[in-house]
C-alpha cells in the first residue's frame, strides 16, 4: 500500500524530539511534535516500520475519523459512521480504550462501553453475529480520545505498549522501562560510540535493561522483532506482504549486526539482580554476548584499554539513613568514573540531580526525562582531567534536607512495625500506614497486600505557604523512602494528589490503565484499582462499618444507597442478607460492583444492581421495604443526570427521612458522611432514635484522624411520614 495515512505515536514525556527524529529516519513525513506524542504521515508500511523499529514510542495509532460527541448518543452515532466490517470480522474480537478530558462524557468506562456497543450493534445488524471482547490480544484495539467533546477514533496498530519487547520476565526494584532506557542511551550518544567499537559498561545494571537495549542498538536489532503480537496482525486491512518484507529485512540486519557487537558489561552488587539480568539477556538472544557479573561498585573496571560509555542509574531516594548513604554512593560513582574510566563518556540518570555535585566531576549537559511521574535528569560527563573539580562538596544530603527525610524514613519504619504487626494479627490486608504524621510530609500511605504488596500514596495539596519547589522536593524524597522501607519495587507504588474539592471528586477518572488487583477483607474479596481514580474502589476507613453491616444483615433485606463499588453490599450478602439492592448513578461503579459480586460468587435475582439517581429512586420506590439500609451520600453532588443537587449538610434530614420510610418495622438505617464539619439535625429527626456510633466505626489505623467520617445508627420510633428530598 502506498496511499498516505496519518499516524500518531505516543511516548513518555521528555523524549518527543527524539521520537520525531527517529520517525523521520523511517521515512515519515510532516512530523509534528505534541505533548507526549508525535503526529506524522506516510504509507501504511511506515506505520508498520514504526511498530517494528521504534525504540521510543509507546503506542502507534492510526486515526480513522473525528467528530463532535458531547453526548453518549452522538458518540454512539459517530462511531457507527465507520464501516467496521472493513476492519473486523463479524465473529472477531475487539477492545476499546477510551480517554476523556474536558468533556461532557466524564466516565471513560462508560464511553468505552458506548463505543463498543456501536461497533457490535453495527456488525450484528448486518451479519446476524456479533464480535466479542478480548482485552488481552484482540483482533483490533480501538482507541478513542475525547477532548473538549471532540472524539478521535483510531486503530491501535501496536496492540499493547511497544516498550514490551518480549525479553523481560525477570525484574528488580525500580526497573527502567525499555523505551526510557533506549532514550537514555540515545541521549548519551551510544549509537556513535558503538559504531566506533566503544564499550558499554553499566555500573548498576539491575535486571539488564540498559545492557540489552544497548546491544539492540549496537547490533541494529529491531526492538519489536521478538514480539509475537501487534494490533494489526488480524486487522482485515493488514498488508501481510509488506509486513513480511519488513520482518525479512529486520532479521537480515540483526544477523549482520551481531557480527559487530562491541563489548557490553554490566555489574551489580545484588546476586538476585544479576540472575534476573542473565535470564533477560538470554531471552533476548544475547546470552553469550553480554557479560553480567556480581561486583561491588569499587571493583567495577572496564577490563580493557578501550574507551566507551559508562552509565549508572543509581537510587535517588531509596537509601536514606545514617551516614548520608546516598551522598556517599554518588561520591563513590564519581571516584570510579575518575579512577577507572578516564577518557570515557559518562551518564548518570537520577531523580535527584543535586547529588551529582558530590561526584567530583563537572557535568557538561543535562536532559530532562520522566521515570513514570517523577521528573529526572540525565547528567552527561566527559571524564577528563579538565572536568575534575576539587574536593569541595555540597552540604551533606541529610543536612540539605534539614534531616526531615531521614525522620520520615524512621517514622515510616515505626508505623510499619506497629500497624503491620496489628494488621497481620487481625488478618487485615489493606490498611492506612501513615497519615500526615510529620508536618513536612503531608501524605497518606495505604498498604494493600494482594499477590504482591502495593502502596497507594496520596499527597494532600500543600498549603499556599509552602513553595511548589519545596513541596515537589519533599515528595520526591518521600517517593524514594517508601519503596525502601516497605521493600517493594517502585512500580508497585502509585501516587495521587488529593486537592480540596467538592462532593464527588473522589469518583473522578484520572487515567485509563484498567488494571485491577484483588484484596481480602474478612471473608470478602474486592477488586481495587490504583491508577484510574482518586480512590481505589475500597474506602478503608469504612472497614469497621462494613463489619457492623455484615453482623446486622443476617436474615434481612439490605439496601445500599450511593453504593459505589458495592463493597458494603458484598459484606451484607456474605453476612447472610436474604436479598440486596445497590443503587448508584454511575455505570462504571455498578459494573465494578458486579465484578465484586462475581469475585465473591454472589449471583442470582436476589442481588439487584440499579443505575439511577438516588434522589429520584427514593421518590419512585416508596413501596419497598428493607430490614437494613446503608446510606453514605457524597458531601455534595451536582450531575447532569441528577434532577437535583445534593448538599449533605443541608439535605441530610430530608434524605434520612425519605430513606427511613423504606425500613421494615424494627429496621435499622446506618448513615455515614465524610463531611468533616457535619452536624446532625436532631431536631428535624425527632421522630427517630439516633445513636452516634462514630467511635465504634473508626478503625485503629484511622484513629489519628477521628473526623475521617461520622456514622449514626438510626431507627424509627414510629413510622415516619414520607417527605421530599430538599432541593
Question: Residue 252 domain-assigned?
Answer: no
| Position with higher pLDDT, 365 vs 115 | 115
Q: What is the mean pLDDT of residues 673-695?
A: 95
Mean pLDDT throughout 45-73? Answer: 97
- State whether 151 and 190 are in the same domain: no
Closest CA to 625 of 563, 553, 559: 559
Spatial CB neighbours of 621, under 8 Å, sequence gap ≥ 6: 662
Residues in CB range of 633: below 8 A, 6 or more apart: 561, 562, 614, 646, 648, 652, 655, 673
Per DSSP, the residues of 6-58 read EEEEE--TT-HHHHHHHHHHHT-EEEEEETTEEEEEE-HHHHHHHHHH-SS-S
- Residues 332 and 206 reside in one and the same domain: yes
Q: Report the chain's terminal Cα–Cα distance, integer Å.
A: 61
User: 354 pLDDT exceeds 90?
Assistant: no
pLDDT band at 130 (very low <50, low <70, confident <90, very high): very high
More reliable by pLDDT, 626 or 587: 626
The answer to whether residues 95 and 115 touch, using CB atoms and an 8 Å cutoff, is no
SS3 content of the chain, % helix, strand, coil (to 5): 35, 25, 40
Q: Is the pLDDT of residue 75 over 50?
A: yes
Q: Quote the pLDDT of residue 322.
A: 33
Among residues 371, 394, 417, the one where a domain terminates is: 394
CA-to-CA distance for 89 and 439, rounded, in angstroms?
A: 59
Parallel, antiparallel, or unpaired: how do β-strands 308-312 and 199-202 relate?
parallel
pLDDT computed for residue 562 by the predictor? 95
**Which of 351, 376, 394 corresponds to the end of one domain?**
394
- What does the DSSP assignment read for 213-240? HHHHHHTT--TTTT----TTTT-TT--H
Mean pLDDT confidence for 639-649: 67
pLDDT band of 531, cuts 50, 70, 90: confident
Residue 169 resides in a domain: no
Q: pTM of the entire structure?
A: 0.57
Q: Is the pLDDT of residue 471 over 80?
A: no
Categorize the per-residue pLDDT at 492 as very low, low, confident or very high, splitting at 50, 70 and 90.
confident
Check residue 514 and give its pLDDT: 62
Per-residue pLDDT, averaged over 584-600, amounts to 93
C-beta of residue 212 within 8 angstroms of C-beta of residue 286: yes
Given the DSSP bridges, would you call strands 59-68 and 688-692 parallel, antiparallel or unpaired?
unpaired
**Sequence-distant (≥ 6) Cβ neighbours of residue 423 within 8 angstroms:** 429, 431, 447, 449, 701
Residue 167 lies in a domain: no
Query: What is the rounded distance in angstroms from the CA atom of residue 287 to the CA atom of residue 284?
Result: 8
Q: How confident is the model at residue 361 (pLDDT cuts 50, 70, 90)?
A: very high
Lowest-confidence range among 22-36, 146-160, 379-393? 379-393
Higher pLDDT, 302 or 100: 100
Same domain flag for 192 and 121: no
Structure confidence at residue 643 (pLDDT): 53
Domain of residue 213, residue span:
178-219+261-394
Secondary structure (3-state) at 64: strand
Reply yes or no on whether the pLDDT at 693 is more than 50. Answer: yes
CATH code for position 451:
3.30.750.80
Q: What is the pLDDT of residues 405-444, one digit of tens each?
A: 788 888 999 999 999 999 988 989 999 999 988 888 889 9
43 with 115, same domain? yes
Q: What is the mean pLDDT of the chain?
A: 88
Range with lowest mean pLDDT among 316-325, 443-452, 475-484, 688-697: 316-325
What SS3 class is residue 579?
Answer: strand
Same domain flag for 569 and 540: yes
CATH number, domain of 599, equals: 3.40.50.150
188 occurs within a structural domain: yes
Residue 227 lies in a domain: no
**Are 187 and 63 members of one domain?**
no
The 3-state DSSP class for residue 587 equals helix
Residue 246 inside a domain? The answer is no
Integer CA distances (angstroms), 669 to 116, 522, 549, 692, 708, in order: 39, 23, 10, 12, 20
- Pair (388, 412) in one structural domain: no
Which of 294-303, 323-332, 562-571, 709-718 reaches the highest mean pLDDT?
Answer: 562-571
The predicted model gives 154-174 an average pLDDT of: 85
What cell numbers appear for 157 in the block?
496498530
User: Is the predicted pLDDT of residue 510 greater than 70, yes or no?
Assistant: no
At 651 the pLDDT is: 92
Final residue of a structural domain among 394, 413, 441: 394
* Average pLDDT of the residues in 563-571: 96
Q: pLDDT grade, residue 320 (50/70/90)?
A: very low
| Residue listed under C-alpha cell 542473565 | 278
348 and 419, same domain (yes or no): no
Q: pLDDT-derived band of residue 137, with 50, 70 and 90 as boundaries? A: very high
Cα angle, residue 631 at apex, residues 628 and 632 outer, rounded to 5°: 145
pLDDT at 465: 66
Rounded mean pLDDT, 655-684: 95
In whole angstroms, what is the distance from residue 32 CA to residue 493 CA? 34
**Backbone Cα Rg of the chain:** 29
* Domain shared by 39 and 132, yes or no: yes
Tally the domains of the chain: 4
- Do 384 and 427 lie in one domain? The reply is no
- Residues of the chain above pLDDT 70, percent: 90
> Do residues 380 and 284 both lie within one domain?
yes
* SS3 assignment for 152-190: EEEEECCCCCCCCCCCCCCCCCCCCCHHHHHHHHHHCCH
Q: Which domain CATH number covers 76?
A: 3.30.2130.30
Q: Is the pLDDT of residue 172 over 80?
A: no
Claim to verify: residue 603 and residue 632 sit in the same structural domain: yes
Residue 299 to residue 266: CA distance in whole angstroms:
12
Reported confidence tier of residue 26, pLDDT bands at 50, 70, 90: very high
**173 pLDDT band (50/70/90 cuts)?**
low
d(CA 219, CA 217): 6
% of the chain residues with pLDDT over 90: 68
In a domain, 34, yes or no: yes
Classify residue 676: in a domain, yes or no: yes
- Three-state DSSP class for 689? strand
Report the 10 Å Cβ neighbour count for 528.
24
Q: Which helix (H) or strand (E) holds 433?
A: strand 430-435
Taking residues 224-228, report their average pLDDT.
94
pLDDT reported for residue 391: 45
Amino acid at each position: 500500500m502506498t496511499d498516505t495515512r496519518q499516524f500518531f505515536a505516543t511516548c513518555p514525556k521528555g523524549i518527543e524530539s527524539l521520537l520525531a527524529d527517529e520517525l523521520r529516519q523511517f521515512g515519515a513525513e510532516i512530523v509534528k511534535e505534541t505533548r507526549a506524542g508525535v503526529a506524522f504521515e506516510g504509507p501504511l508500511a511506515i506505520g508498520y516500520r514504526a511498530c517494528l523499529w521504534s525504540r521510543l514510542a509507546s503506542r502507534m495509532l492510526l486515526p480513522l475519523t473525528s467528530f463532535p460527541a458531547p453526548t453518549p448518543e452522538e458518540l454512539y452515532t459517530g462511531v457507527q459512521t465507520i464501516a467496521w466490517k472493513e476492519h473486523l470480522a463479524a465473529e472477531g474480537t475487539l477492545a476499546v480504550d477510551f480517554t476523556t478530558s474536558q468533556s461532557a462524557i466524564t466516565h471513560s468506562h462508560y464511553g468505552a462501553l458506548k463505543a463498543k456497543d456501536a461497533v457490535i450493534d453495527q456488525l450484528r445488524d448486518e451479519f446476524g453475529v456479533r464480535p466479542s471482547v478480548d482485552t488481552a490480544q484482540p483482533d483490533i484495539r480501538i482507541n478513542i480520545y475525547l477532548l473538549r467533546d471532540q472524539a478521535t477514533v483510531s486503530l491501535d496498530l501496536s496492540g499493547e505498549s511497544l516498550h514490551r519487547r518480549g525479553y523481560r520476565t525477570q525484574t528488580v526494584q525500580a526497573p527502567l522501562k525499555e523505551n526510557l532506557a533506549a532514550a537514555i542511551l540515545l541521549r548519551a550518544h551510544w549509537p556513535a560510540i558503538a559504531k566506533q567499537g566503544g564499550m558499554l559498561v553499566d555500573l548498576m545494571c539491575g535486571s539488564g535493561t540498559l545492557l540489552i537495549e544497548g546491544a539492540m542498538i549496537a547490533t541494529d536489532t529491531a526492538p519489536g522483532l521478538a514480539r509475537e503480537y501487534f494490533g494489526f496482525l488480524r486487522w482485515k486491512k493488514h498488508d501481510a506482504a509488506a509486513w513480511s518484507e519488513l520482518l525479512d529485512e529486520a532479521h537480515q540486519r540483526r544477523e549482520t549486526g551481531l557480527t559487530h557487537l562491541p563489548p557490553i558489561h554490566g555489574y551489580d552488587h545484588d546476586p538476585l539482580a544479576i540472575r534476573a539480568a542473565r535470564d533477560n539477556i538470554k531471552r533476548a538472544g544475547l546470552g553469550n554476548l553480554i557479560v553480567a557479573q556480581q561486583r561491588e561498585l569499587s571493583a567495577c573496571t572496564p577490563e580493557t584499554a578501550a574507551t566507551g560509555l559508562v552509565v549508572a542509574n543509581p537510587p535517588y531516594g531509596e537509601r536514606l539513613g545514617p551516614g548520608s548513604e546516598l551522598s556517599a554512593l554518588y561520591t563513590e560513582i564519581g571516584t570510579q568514573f575518575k579512577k577507572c574510566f578516564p577518557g570515557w563518556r559518562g551518564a548518570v540518570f537520577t531523580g535527584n540531580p543535586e547529588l551529582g555535585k558530590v561526584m567530583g566531576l563537572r557535568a557538561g549537559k543535562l536532559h530532562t526525562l520522566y521515570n513514570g511521574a517523577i521528573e529526572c535528569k540525565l547528567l552527561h560527563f566527559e571524564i577528563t582531567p579538565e572536568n575534575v573539580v576539587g574536593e569541595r562538596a555540597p552540604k551533606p544530603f541529610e543536612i540539605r534536607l534539614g534531616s526531615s527525610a531521614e525522620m520520615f524514613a524512621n517514622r515510616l519504619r515505626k508505623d510499619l512495625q506497629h500497624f503491620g504487626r496489628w494488621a497481620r494479627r487481625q488478618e487485615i490486608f489493606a490498611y492506612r500506614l501513615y497519615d500526615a504524621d510529620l508536618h513536612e510530609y503531608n501524605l497518606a500511605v495505604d498498604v494493600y497486600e494482594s499477590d504482591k504488596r502495593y502502596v497507594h500514596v496520596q499527597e494532600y495539596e500543600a498549603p499556599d505557604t509552602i513553595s511548589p519547589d519545596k513541596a515537589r522536593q519533599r515528595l520526591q524524597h518521600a517517593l524514594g523512602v517508601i519503596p525502601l522501607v516497605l521493600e517493594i519495587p517502585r512500580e508497585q507504588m502509585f501516587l495521587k494528589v488529593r486537592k480540596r474539592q467538592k462532593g464527588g471528586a473522589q469518583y473522578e477518572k484520572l487515567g485509563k490503565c484498567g488494571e485491577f488487583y484483588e484484596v481480602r477483607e474478612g471473608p470478602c474479596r474486592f477488586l481495587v484499582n490504583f491508577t484510574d481514580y482518586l480512590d481505589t474502589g475500597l474506602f478503608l476507613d469504612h472497614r469497621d462499618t462494613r463489619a457492623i453491616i455484615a453482623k446486622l444483615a443476617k436474615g434481612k433485606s439490605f439496601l445500599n444507597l450511593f453504593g459505589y463499588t458495592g463493597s458494603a453490599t458484598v459484606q451484607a450478602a456474605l453476612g447472610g442478607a436474604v436479598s440486596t439492592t445497590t443503587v448508584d448513578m454511575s455505570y462504571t461503579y455498578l459494573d465494578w460492583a458486579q465484578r465484586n459480586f462475581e469475585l465473591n460468587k454472589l449471583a442470582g435475582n436476589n442481588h439487584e444492581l440499579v443505575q439511577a439517581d438516588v434522589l429520584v429512586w427514593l421518590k419512585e420506590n416508596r413501596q419497598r421495604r428493607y430490614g437494613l439500609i446503608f446510606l453514605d451520600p457524597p458531601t455534595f453532588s451536582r450531575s447532569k443526570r441528577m434532577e437535583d443537587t445534593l448538599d449533605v449538610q443541608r439535605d441530610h434530614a430530608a434524605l434520612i427521612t425519605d430513606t427511613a420510610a423504606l425500613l421494615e418495622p424494627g429496621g435499622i438505617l446506618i448513615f455515614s458522611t465524610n463531611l468533616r464539619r457535619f452536624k446532625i439535625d436532631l431536631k428535624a429527626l425527632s421522630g427517630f432514635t439516633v445513636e452516634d456510633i462514630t467511635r465504634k466505626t473508626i478503625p485503629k489505623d484511622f484513629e489519628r484522624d477521628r473526623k475521617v467520617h461520622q456514622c449514626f445508627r438510626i431507627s424509627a420510633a414510629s413510622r415516619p411520614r414520607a417527605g421530599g428530598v430538599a432541593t
